[in-house]
Structure 1
Amino acid sequence: MKKKLAAVSFSALLAIVASSTTSGFASWNTKYWTNEKNFNRISSFNVSENLPEGSKSTTKTSSEVVTASEDGKTLMYTDSDLGVVGLVDISDPAKPKALGIVELEAEPTGIAALGNNIYIGSNTSESYTNPSGALVQYNLDKRRAVKECDLGGQPDSVFVSPDGSFLAVAIENERDEEYKDGQIPQLDEDGKQINPAGYVSLVKLNKKGKIQCNSIKKVDLTGLASIAPSDPEPEFVAINDLGETVVSIQENNHLAVIDKEGKVISHFTAGIVKQMAGMDTKKDGAHKFKKKLKNVRREPDGLTWIDNDHFATANEGDYKHKAPGQAKRGGSRSWTIFKKDGTVVYEDANRLERSIAQIGHFQDGRAGKKGVEPESVTFGKIDGTPYLFVGAERAGIVAVYDITELSQPVLTQLLPSGIGPEGFVAIPDRGLIASANEKDYNKKEPGLSSHVTIYQLQDAPASYPHLTNENGLEFVSWGAISGMVSGEDGKIYAVNDGTFKTQPRIYVIDPSSSPALLERAIDIKLDGKTALFMDQEGITTDGRGGFYISTEGIKKKLTEHPPAIYHVSSEGDILEKITPPPSYLNYAKNPGFEGITRNGNILYIAQQKPWGDDTFNTTKILSYNLISKQWGAVNYQLDRIKKGGVGISELTYHDGALYVIERDSFYGKKAKLKAIYKVDLDGVVFEGLQTTMPPRLYPLVEKELVTDLKPVMKSTGGFILEKVEGLAINNDGQAWISTDNDGTGKKSTGETLFLNIGKI
């Protein structure tokens, strides 16, 4: 078998950069078109590299809250699953290094840093009804805990005052959400509250930063909120330059401001968002932004001071019980700027969510209740510009706002994060921000563990998104690109896969803009109705304005829904269904058809993985003659990767050859195979597809390695994604690749790579 390694050329890398450049979104602000400086992701630190001694590499991790040392060269993150605080050396932020862990005997919930000290909120609760916790001071130089104070309850957020004189700790004393459907207040059968109320603790620090346990002041928050006034659950705290602490009391939909002496100087309801139109509130295998949410409680989670008079909240929305006139479902999904007297200065409503949807990061599988779930927010004045960073947990996005005008924030960027961004920290002096991403699927999805992601403000174009619907001909929320083809009109046509089980679509993409522009979507229909049985994996043109689409089939229902080819008109109407001989289906073992491509009257179709009639580690490339209606086949040898689930993801014809994307099922450093191979068709004969049993062997084609895609996929500063599935080559030989983000499902970062890799 002939193999030849061809490195990505310098011109191809320049093309990658060019195709990744974000030139702007008019619906955000025209300033975005001319930004000379942008935040770009420069590294992603895999938390599984920072485990307790003797741990397996697949040990579950969960980085949640992140902060930085005073010099900005060390990051600290909490990992509640492991009961540790992780330390990361970011002296070179593009090459973060593990510095080890601080092991606790309890769950770390909050963290703050001052000088060479880390202050950790430690949850030692035995039960919801008997909460307890401590504030632990850890010295970085001595590498040990130097003091511990009993907090008398279950801590959450920890924040150190700007002058370093005291700490504020939110004592949440959260209720059991499994008991009586999480009612608040938590009452027993006799109507007595069974869990103690939450509060805020103020803890003084001496001049050396040592916590003074005998100084702890408990700030009572009962009786403030109109919702469950006896059971406040403070969630997040922040302190301004005046020493005033603002606290979100999330479940009670309330906010309070406390002075440095512990007096509540103002408190007010977080209020409601009166109406949000154009929403998707259903988990239904489709993106349908047509619903309205009315009178939705904000229920803020994370918050941050902007100046001494204004703060911002990330409104996760966590309610379970319907209030009069309130929406039955759907978190508030918004973020808000308040004055400290309770005046709303700016309400984003669902603007962020819709912008996120247009870059392919909306999660239908998780978004029914909370949308993109704004979880955290932080502020930093960097290079003279006041920035607000909002994290969307269910979208894997960090939104960047220029808030020079508080009443008119400008959304300047949407940055890709990991899965479930939970906490953020800004390091203004170094032009850095970092996010902690809590979700971990390392056992089931090799290499997909929790990450800490680092971004830097650069004199450079924005490197994300690669593909957007902003400025498109119509609003389109998209995702799960599984196959592509370059059309004669210069457009790229792509299909979504079975993740969108009730919304099969063809996306029309203009690759000449930067980022590439997803102009519109064509719905696929059968007799005028949505074709619900589609699981699209590949697309090619028919030469007359229409398309041929390959579908995977449903393994357990092959008689009803076998792997098939659908001839579809330019308007999305199914004209014909083409299925292989029944005998072919007798050997079905793995997923069926993947990529499809055309040369003249011949269609070529990739069988993703080996079937029962294939010899070891081989699969098939099929042919179908549109004139004679005859099927043929050859065998294709897959690379061998230990436990890698290797298969063909895409098939594209160009200049007498088939170009094949072959990949494993690994992420990150465990990814071994993401490559394009070439099969020269000169002299290749596709033998007739069997129509009788027993199984037969087909000619084995030779393949040539054209491009190792791993360096290209690492060029974005993140980890290597699993599913590179799209390949389009135009008449000039320019090639684009894309990744399938699974419709931003639970195991996806939401990220889509759409990159020009130069001439093939």
Structure 2
Amino acid sequence: MIRLVSLVVLCVLCSSAQVEVCEDDGLASLQVRATDPPPAEVRPKLRRRRFRRRSRKAYHHHGAVWTVTDSPVAASPASESATTATSTTSTTSTTSTTQDPSVSCSCSFNPVGFFLLCQEEDPTCNGISSNRMVSSMDVTSDNRTLVYADRRQSLIGFVDITDAYNPVSDGTLDVGITEAVAIKGNFALVGVRAGDGQLLVVNVSSKTVVRTIELGATPANIAISPDRRFAAIAPAYGAGYLVQANISDADPDAWTYQIVNFTVLDGIESDDYLDTDHVSIRNDNVAVVTLRWNNHLVLVNLTDATILASFSAGRANISNIDTVHDDLITLNSSLSNLSREPGGVVWLGEDSDFFATADGGSDLGGTRSFTIFDISGAVVFTSGNLLEHLSVRLGHYNDLDSDRYGTEPTFLSFGDFGDCKMLFISAKTPHLTFVFEVSDPTQPSFLQALPGTVTPDVSKAIPSRGLFVSSSAQGRTFYDLQVGLHIYHCSACGRQYPFLESRDSEEGLPIPWGSLAGLAGDTDGTLYAIESERFAQPRILVIDSHAHPALITDDIQVTYQNGSSPEDFDPEAIELIPGGFAVLSLEPQGYVLHLLDEDGVIQSSVEVQISRNGEYVSGVAYDSSLGLVITGSYGMVQICDLSPTCGLNYFNYTLDDPASQSSSTVYLRDVVALGNGIFLFLEKDDRGGFEAGNRRIYTAELGNESISNKALVMDFMPELIDLRIPVVRYFNSLAITGETGNLTLWGVNDNTASQFSAGETQLLRLREHFSL
């Protein structure tokens, strides 16, 4: 009884504070706990299936930190740490930083809330199609209101995050084309592109402009000193100087400013165009400023507006990366003598002698990495290809940018959370924020990656509330690309994400993957996923579902018997059959059902007949009593007799009405055989975010002439909402693993190879111990 009362009191306290809460709605498997010990190794019974390649490298778990064993070269303190930053460095990290296995943090981040900018016009974005962009963001002194700059809508917005789980709009103010915003007390300093460049001082409480200051150049970034006495304003477009503003007076009319001229700097690249980018200030009012275009860094004493030092950000080599946009992820290229071209910058603590830069670069350079410098300008650590490989391992790598920026790290934040010093790195193209522990600046430890934000850029750490906020640099009003602010909370609940990652191949590099078009499961717990047409080489991924998170252990290339790869091959679904796989594909001649052996070699192919114009094939299932059953998006169900074509016997499955707030269509998206003529059917609409309405799984029986006994198994929309990020649009595939009477029901979305979504793959254990 005492134990029960204690648990009740603990739960009440946690709920009221909204901290340390690990929600469990019967889906405990959705919470991946970093503090749990790794499960006992479970080796799937391969039975009749053998795989052509067996990977031997895997993640190992130490506390809350992941390390990698048996990697060819691991990132380490940079070889140039004893020299200057201008020396050339070869950085060839394959998977992870060299880490102390004892590093462990008392909390991990999970999404808890989000605010899409379209909610400024309607609480659920109903019918809103305006384009938006967060160019800057800060938080008020009480840490209860976010203030963001929306360049495309020429306004600043206010978002109340008193309840971080349910942020709400607190209004907007039209100010012109906004570039930057920073908060000092009850005032927001807003940089706008008006005249030759202006700084507006806005009263946050009244949402009124109380002063306009002509700066002579448009502010690109604004930082406020920890003691709130100074602002450092970095103008854009080659202004060639930093603005130091004395804002110590309570009255903004008394604020003064002066210019710190950078044209006097020596040894700077492209000195005819001095372009300040970002700035960060530590306790003694020393500011570090990046000049990305010029590959340069400057230290400024804001107390007297003098330059303390300046130095080149240096150059680096990077290897084992993808540099070709060819719809493949191939980590076999190198780039040499690259300018770092740092953009984002942050001190690693208000009293630190170290600062980090995000080296996303411009069209001229960038090393796809982050670098840590000491105050003398010496490089003490550079991440090499680590961010590239983490993006690949997590299925977020976007090949569209292989020939340009790669992961494109752009912005950095820092915060002390409990016993850990955390560095947050925004990477635009994989839609991820990487979190590192940097108590030892020479040996950062990778902690986790945060999903959900489209093209993350400006971010803010709020340690006093255990919060981190990420914002979208850009997005689209369709697909899964809505611009917004995403809130994460650091608690002892353990990491929710990722749900799926890959191990290393025999070459010691992470197995690339993404865009899962279909899913199938075996009785031993093995899952098989086939990638979509977004990759030029069709592959089947072998997934160990017993691992936490689920682990891609191998990949099987789909080929013809002569060894060549299929062209114009657009997989839609996959199923296990005796001796191999059945794969549905859309090809120039129409839909085709391919029968593959266990090594992925196509043995035979059959055309699939479609009963209705505009309908597309959506799923395939194998029932030993019926054979192969194929579904169509509008409710077509057919038994495939394989001779000479598929689709002579048609049945009609009746779909639910749309439940979306907007005009939508409900589709039959996948089918899974349970045996004895009983099947699972996945119904979903074509919407994501607030507009998503239908995410339901039904059972039905396929008889001799009709489909009967349709019954709801689960509506898993609440589970998707509980992930605390916008509901993904392309949740298209189901599978079951285990034996009859003790099945596990799985679902997964297609992340579109991070091209038309925020990149997260949600491989969810929807129902355990499932039976009819």
Measured at CA, do residues 36 and 268 of structure 1 come closer, stay the same or move farther in structure 2, by a change above 3 Å? closer
Supply the AA of the counterpart residue of 2:607. T
Contact 2:499 2:549 in 1 (8 A): yes
Report which stretch shifted further, 28-37 or 111-120: 28-37
1:26 lines up with 2:78 in the alignment: no
Matched residue, 2:538: 504
Matched residue, 1:632: 649
Q: How far apart, CA to CA, are the structure 2 residues paired with 1:650 and 1:300? A: 46
Aligned counterparts, 1:27-176, within 5 A: 27=68, 28=96, 29=99, 31=101, 36-51=106-121, 57-104=128-175, 106-124=176-194, 132-173=196-237
Supply the AA of the counterpart residue of 1:707. M
CA RMSD of aligned residues (A): 2.5
Q: How far apart, CA to CA, are the structure 2 residues paired with 1:10 and 1:163? A: 42
CA deviations over 1:114-145 (Å, ceiling 9, x no partner): 211111111115xxxxxx21111111223211
1:741 lines up with 2:769 in the alignment: no
Q: How far apart, CA to CA, are the structure 2 residues paired with 1:629 and 1:608? A: 16
Contact 1:203 1:212 in 2 (8 A): no
Aligned counterparts, 1:503-522, within 5 A: 503-522=537-556
Contact 2:623 2:675 in 1 (8 A): no
CA deviations over 1:457-512 (Å, ceiling 9, x no partner): 10111100010114677621211112111123320001111111x12110100111
Q: How far apart, CA to CA, are the structure 1 residues paired with 2:603 and 2:264? A: 66
1:674 deviation in Å? 1.4
1:107 deviation in Å? 1.2
Measured at CA, do residues 32 and 418 of structure 1 come closer, stay the same or move farther in structure 2, by a change above 3 Å? farther
1:425 deviation in Å? 0.5
Matched residue, 1:600: 624
Contact 1:68 1:76 in 2 (8 A): yes
Matched residue, 1:564: 592
1:278 deviation in Å? 1.3
Contact 1:367 1:394 in 2 (8 A): no
1:85 deviation in Å? 1.2
Supply the AA of the counterpart residue of 1:650. D
Aligned counterparts, 1:318-717, within 5 A: 318-320=362-364, 331-442=366-477, 444-445=478-479, 448-470=481-503, 475-500=510-535, 502-526=536-560, 527-544=562-579, 546-553=580-587, 557-558=588-589, 562-580=590-608, 584=610, 588-590=613-615, 592-600=616-624, 602-610=626-634, 619-625=635-641, 631-641=648-658, 643-656=663-676, 657-681=678-702, 683-685=703-705, 699=706, 703-717=710-724
1:10 deviation in Å? 7.0
Measured at CA, do residues 337 and 548 of structure 1 come closer, stay the same or move farther in structure 2, by a change above 3 Å? same
Q: How far apart, CA to CA, are the structure 1 residues paired with 2:530 and 2:695? A: 20
With the length of structure 2 as denominator, give the TM-score of the two structures.
0.83
Give 3-state SS (helix, strand or coil) of 1:170's partner: strand
Give the gaps of 5 or more residues in structure 2. 1-22, 39-60, 69-95
Q: How far apart, CA to CA, are the structure 2 residues paired with 1:574 and 1:211? A: 76
Matched residue, 1:310: 354
Give 3-state SS (helix, strand or coil) of 2:199's partner: strand
Q: How far apart, CA to CA, are the structure 2 residues paired with 1:673 and 1:11? A: 19
Q: How far apart, CA to CA, are the structure 2 residues paired with 1:152 and 1:516? A: 55
CA deviations over 1:526-567 (Å, ceiling 9, x no partner): 2212222221111111222x11111133xxx33xxx211111
Give 3-state SS (helix, strand or coil) of 2:752's partner: coil
Supply the AA of the counterpart residue of 1:42. V
Aligned length: 676
1:164 deviation in Å? 1.1
Matched residue, 2:92: none
CA deviations over 1:262-309 (Å, ceiling 9, x no partner): 2221111111112x2211112211111111111111111111111442
Q: How far apart, CA to CA, are the structure 1 residues paired with 2:253 and 2:586? A: 61
With the length of structure 1 as denominator, give the TM-score of the two structures.
0.84
Counterpart pick for 1:230 among 255, 268, 272? 272
Supply the AA of the counterpart residue of 1:449. Q
Contact 1:19 1:466 in 2 (8 A): no
Supply the AA of the counterpart residue of 1:450. V
Supply the AA of the counterpart residue of 1:242. D
Supply the AA of the counterpart residue of 2:751. N
Q: How far apart, CA to CA, are the structure 1 residues paired with 2:177 and 2:246? A: 23
Matched residue, 2:323: 281
1:608 deviation in Å? 3.8
Q: How far apart, CA to CA, are the structure 2 residues paired with 1:149 and 1:580? A: 69
Contact 1:606 1:648 in 2 (8 A): no
Q: How far apart, CA to CA, are the structure 1 residues paired with 2:640 and 2:623? A: 11
Supply the AA of the counterpart residue of 1:316. G
Matched residue, 2:30: 16
CA deviations over 1:58-114 (Å, ceiling 9, x no partner): 22221232211112111111110111111111111111111111220x211111112
Contact 2:117 2:483 in 1 (8 A): yes
Q: How far apart, CA to CA, are the structure 1 residues paired with 2:486 and 2:655? A: 34
Matched residue, 1:128: none
Give 3-state SS (helix, strand or coil) of 2:245's partner: strand
Measured at CA, do residues 55 and 484 of structure 1 come closer, stay the same or move farther in structure 2, by a change above 3 Å? closer
Give 3-state SS (helix, strand or coil) of 2:252's partner: coil
Supply the AA of the counterpart residue of 1:200. L
CA deviations over 1:414-450 (Å, ceiling 9, x no partner): 11132110101011111111001132321x33x7421
Give 3-state SS (helix, strand or coil) of 1:449's partner: coil
Contact 1:19 1:755 in 2 (8 A): no
Give the gaps of 5 or more residues in structure 1. 1-8, 126-131, 175-196, 321-329, 611-618, 686-698
1:627 deviation in Å? 8.2
Contact 1:363 1:394 in 2 (8 A): yes
1:158 deviation in Å? 0.4
Measured at CA, do residues 221 and 243 of structure 1 come closer, stay the same or move farther in structure 2, by a change above 3 Å? farther
Q: How far apart, CA to CA, are the structure 1 residues paired with 2:338 and 2:625? A: 56
Q: How far apart, CA to CA, are the structure 2 residues paired with 1:450 and 1:117? A: 25
1:198 deviation in Å? 2.9
CA deviations over 1:334-357 (Å, ceiling 9, x no partner): 110011221001000111110121
Measured at CA, do residues 415 and 470 of structure 1 come closer, stay the same or move farther in structure 2, by a change above 3 Å? farther
Supply the AA of the counterpart residue of 1:568. L
1:162 deviation in Å? 1.1
Give 3-state SS (helix, strand or coil) of 2:400's partner: coil
Measured at CA, do residues 709 and 387 of structure 1 come closer, stay the same or move farther in structure 2, by a change above 3 Å? same
Q: How far apart, CA to CA, are the structure 2 residues paired with 1:19 and 1:538? A: 31
Give 3-state SS (helix, strand or coil) of 2:403's partner: helix
Matched residue, 1:753: 762
Report which stretch shifted further, 516-525 or 725-734: 725-734
Supply the AA of the counterpart residue of 1:507. L
